[in-house]
Amino acid sequence: MVKGYCVKCKKKGQEMKEVAINQTVKGGFMAKGTCTACGTKMCAMMSKDNAEKAIQAGEAKKAF
């Protein structure tokens, strides 16, 4: 499962649901989703390898 920081819950490593991987203008990768606990939108920067692994494992969908 893709994890990130939730600003509302103030928790590191919070799991995301409905994750979509986007590519930034500079070529990096960002996972966007919602917090499983409170429903707030979250995002997390990822490496290319981690982004590809999440897409192949079915944890996230490709949005670029």
Determine the structural domain holding residue 56 and report its residue range.
Answer: 3-62
Q: pTM for the complete prediction?
A: 0.84
CB-based contacts of 40, cutoff 8 Å, min separation 6 = 6, 7, 8, 9, 34
pLDDT reported for residue 44: 95
pLDDT reported for residue 26: 95
What is the tens place of the pLDDT at every residue in 7-43?
999 999 999 999 999 999 999 999 999 999 999 999 9
**Number of domains the chain is built from:** 1
Average pLDDT over residues 36-63: 94
pLDDT reported for residue 1: 86
Q: Single out the residue of 28, 22, 33, 32 nearest to residue 63, CA to CA.
A: 22
